[in-house]
Structure 1
Amino acid sequence: MEKVTQRWLAILMVPMILLMSFGMQGSVAAEESESSLDIRVNGAILIDADSGKVLYEENADKPLGIASMTKMMTEYLMFEAIEDGTITWDQEYKVTEYTYKVSQDRRLSNVPLRRDGSYTIRELYEAVAIYSANAATIAIAESIAGSEEEFVNLMNKKAEEFGLTDYKFVNSTGLNNSDLQGMHPSAFGEKDENVMPARSVAKLAYHLLKEFPEVLDTTKIAKKTFREGTDDAIDMVNWNFMLPGLVYEYEGIDGLKTGTTEFAGHCFTGTAVRDGRRVIAVVMNAVDDKGVGSYEARFDATRKLFDYGFKEFSETELLKAGHQFKKQKTLAVIKGKEKKVAIATKKPIKMLVRNGEDQDYTTELVLDEKLVKNGQVQAPIKKGTVVGHVKLVKKEGPDYGFIDGKIVDAEVVTTEEVKKAGWLPLTMGAIGNFFSNAWNSSTGFVKGLFN
């Protein structure tokens, strides 16, 4: 009888276990849908291009292959060199054996260069920005630094200056060194390739757009003919197929750089603007639902990031200008004509916040310890002196901060001037303090006699 009872109990338990299992799976699926955009990538990040606020990230700190997204650094250094006068747009480049041989490899993205030809920096740049031309990229590197090897040193130095992390530049193009005809920079191996995490890629794009926004005048061109009207003419179709008129077009997109190698997979740093707000998205090694990398997969992932940024976030005023904290409306003043000075926020504190989450943020006053000691400042104090900042704290859920590590523009300042007290008040105050301290000491001593 006991065996029969156990058997029936087991039979009855099966559907209950299955129901519990389905319920748990449903719960997990719901949690995943809240924390993920269901993009199939090895790494991704989405930022606001103006403030650098990080809106979304997924495995954003893992170093991965970046392929031709490398060329954003080459473009940055080119614009900087033009600004410094190191090179000019009309400067002629004489083709070297290196760039000639690489340009003839039609397995790679290239515009063929004549062995005895010369090309302007502007022509080479357009081939890079529109068609991701690899030999043209090397030509720009040689024009700036004399050799690609020296140029790579500049790339790594600039990466350090930007505060990028876990980066490695081994060439100017993003190709695997094995594709460079045995003429790759000698400091690196035959199989080396450029790597960087998605966060660093986004920071690089952020600096490029902040300092040289004119890059978009070229990256937004969907089609152009290289050396039109000559025997060397070749049609260039932008590899960014999300541009207007191309197969995966997306409203507002105007850049920035694709990248594809066997090592890196299908990558893309895209930027788009709507209603005056620009975002930057980075996807790395995007695959489809079958786990296969493709152009479509990287653009589908980018589209989801763009939609999330534009639809789910709004600029929200978290504190008004002139806001005073209830527990700290003033600071005590030492050696001033006034004994205290009022403090308040300098500007309205605004930030991109996910819709409905504005109440999730609390604000904390953080005083500058170098200027404010024990809640006191020393006169004289000018009106508008920065005495601290507001720290925003999210009560629940992730807040990814800013791409460059800064805090939101939230300075707290003095709202009035306090002049230093004159000689006589300071002297009288010092005398008063002396006698007060002396009295306290003496009364303390007398009391001590009777204890």
Structure 2
Amino acid sequence: MEVENVTHNVTKWLSLLLATMVMVTTITVQPLSVQAADPVDIEGESAILVDYETGKILYAKNPDMALPPASMTKIMTEYLVHEAIEEGQISWDTTTEISDYAYSISADASSSGVGLKQDEDYTVKQLYDAMAINSDNATTIALAELVAGSEGEFVKMMNDKAEEMGMTDTEFVNSTGLANASLGENVPEGTDPDANNLMSARSSALLAYHLINDYPGALDVTEIPSAEFEGEPITNWNWMLDHDEEEASSLQQFYYEGVDGLKTGHTDLAKYCFTGTAERDNNRLISVVMKTESMEARFEETAKLLDYGFDEFETQEIFPAGYQLEDEATIPVSKGKEDTVAVATKEAFSTPVKGDQADSYSITYQLDEEKLNGDGELAAPIEKGEKVGTAEIVYDGDGDYGFITPNGGNGSIDLVAQDTVEKNNWFMLTLGAIGSFFGNLFNTVVDTVKGWF
């Protein structure tokens, strides 16, 4: 009886000990399986942060969610106006009258602010500045009608350009970002009367990237905090600019050094959004926040993103020009005076790096298959500096969001020959062929004789 009690007690204590160990193990192991927290906490439906020089995405939150962009739509209108000027279709001094449609929008204080008149001609420069600085809707419509003949035709241009740029999750139904339902009988032809423009944070950043890259002069306007339109003051809705005038001193709390654009947006459906850009020490960032809860929040969240980019990342040269993989420094050559040729990267690879992320980058070679024979050899002749493939950049660390540009940004570098390899003359090629023939014949005879025994 005592033995049974002892056995029972031992079993009880062992069970209790085992249960305790399981609990401790669970408590110890559980935190390791929890996903790491985001590096920056952005309060908004969607957001993205991009390094302009490389196109590398530094942060993303629901970047492909299609949302109403409100007046951030006007970035595309700005782009197409610049393109029309570049192509000689219009100039900054071109004048235009105001249509009944544009005038009706301008007469509505809730949707426009500069008060256009129908008995005046306005220059493209006047209309563009009012659009880019004051986010004016009527001047935007006037520009769309001038460039394309009608807003409906302009919308087609917007969507075609979006597709050309690789802007996925995007659909434009008007030039301004207003809800089509608010346009009454002026809904652009070919669009749904109940539709809204849609654009993702990724596409908005890509659009901003193209505007800055193709038409950097656009920033000369978007950086203006206030101006005049026909003698009347207009103010930029971008509160992160240096509004240093006394009457705008209340906005200085949102000032962010280096911000010079780009476009705010607000409708009841879109809430408050902002595509921003800032440059410090020759390093430019592009940020997008969408569907924040207030005018103040869109700038506060943008500041978080920019702080994260400028404070946590440093652009470093990861691989220099002329970099070679140790075990693939040379490639075999066929029919050449040399049996191999050295290959190396044509250019250096630099990228924004956070902490010790540089150690997480490596390179793999992708040779041009059209330049190779069946044995994987490059065919002579080969010229020094000739591209023979690409060096693909591989990142094996945390937080890889890719690149903003559809083709992967600078995720690859040209791989080029370091020397010239001439093609062997016919005599040496003939000798090589003869040698190869007899070599193969000898091997065949040897194999046959071995088979006899």
CA contact (8 A) 1:401 1:407 kept: no
Tell me which of 260, 265, 268 is aligned to 2:266.
260
Deviations 1:217-247 (A, max 9, x none): 000000001012xxxxx21100001001243
Deviations 1:371-412 (A, max 9, x none): 245431001101112222233323331212211123335222
Counterpart Cα distance in 2 of 1:218 and 1:391: 39
What secondary structure does 1:190 align onto? coil
TM value normalised by structure 2: 0.88
Counterpart Cα distance in 1 of 2:429 and 2:265: 69
Counterpart Cα distance in 1 of 2:388 and 2:59: 32
Question: How far did 1:334 drift?
Answer: 0.8
- Indicate the residue corresponding to 2:326 in structure 1: 326
Tell me which of 251, 269, 280 is aligned to 1:274.
280
- Indicate the residue corresponding to 1:354 in structure 2: 354
* 1:340 is aligned to 2:340: yes
What secondary structure does 2:356 align onto? coil
Amino acid at match of 1:439: F
Counterpart Cα distance in 2 of 1:331 and 1:360: 26
Counterpart Cα distance in 1 of 2:403 and 2:100: 44
Amino acid at match of 1:173: T
Question: How far did 1:36 drift?
Answer: 4.0
* 1:108 is aligned to 2:106: no
CA contact (8 A) 1:351 1:408 kept: no
Question: How far did 1:353 drift?
Answer: 1.1
Counterpart Cα distance in 1 of 2:115 and 2:187: 19
* 1:194 is aligned to 2:197: yes
Question: How far did 1:26 drift?
Answer: 12
- Indicate the residue corresponding to 1:4 in structure 2: none
Report which stretch shifted further, 192-201 or 345-354. Answer: 345-354
* 1:93 is aligned to 2:93: no
CA contact (8 A) 2:264 2:275 kept: yes
What secondary structure does 1:439 align onto? helix
Tell me which of 421, 426, 434 is aligned to 1:423.
426
CA contact (8 A) 1:102 1:181 kept: no
Question: How far did 1:439 drift?
Answer: 2.7
Q: 1:25–1:299: structure 2 CA closer, same or farther, 3 Å change rule?
A: farther
Counterpart Cα distance in 1 of 2:386 and 2:401: 30
Amino acid at match of 1:277: N
Counterpart Cα distance in 2 of 1:94 and 1:395: 57
CA contact (8 A) 1:372 1:387 kept: no
Deviations 1:184-224 (A, max 9, x none): 11322222111011111111110010000000000000000
Counterpart Cα distance in 2 of 1:406 and 1:379: 32
Report which stretch shifted further, 298-307 or 420-429. Answer: 420-429
* 1:304 is aligned to 2:304: yes
* 1:371 is aligned to 2:363: no
Counterpart Cα distance in 2 of 1:65 and 1:109: 19
What secondary structure does 1:282 align onto? strand
CA contact (8 A) 1:385 1:413 kept: yes
Report which stretch shifted further, 321-330 or 71-80. Answer: 321-330
Identity of matched residues, %: 47
CA contact (8 A) 1:110 1:136 kept: no
CA contact (8 A) 2:85 2:91 kept: yes
CA RMSD of aligned residues (A): 2.3
CA contact (8 A) 1:130 1:221 kept: yes
Q: 1:27–1:222: structure 2 CA closer, same or farther, 3 Å change rule?
A: farther
What secondary structure does 1:347 align onto? coil
Counterpart Cα distance in 2 of 1:115 and 1:320: 60
- Indicate the residue corresponding to 2:14 in structure 1: none
TM value normalised by structure 1: 0.88
- Indicate the residue corresponding to 1:384 in structure 2: 385
Tell me which of 235, 238, 245 is aligned to 2:236.
238
Runs of 4+, deviation exceeding 6 Å: 23-27
Counterpart Cα distance in 1 of 2:240 and 2:371: 51
Q: 1:111–1:181: structure 2 CA closer, same or farther, 3 Å change rule?
A: farther
- Indicate the residue corresponding to 2:165 in structure 1: 162
Q: 1:24–1:236: structure 2 CA closer, same or farther, 3 Å change rule?
A: farther
Deviations 1:42-92 (A, max 9, x none): 111111112211111110011111111111111111000000011111111
* 1:31 is aligned to 2:29: no
Question: How far did 1:429 drift?
Answer: 1.1
The number of equivalent residue pairs is 420
- Indicate the residue corresponding to 2:4 in structure 1: none
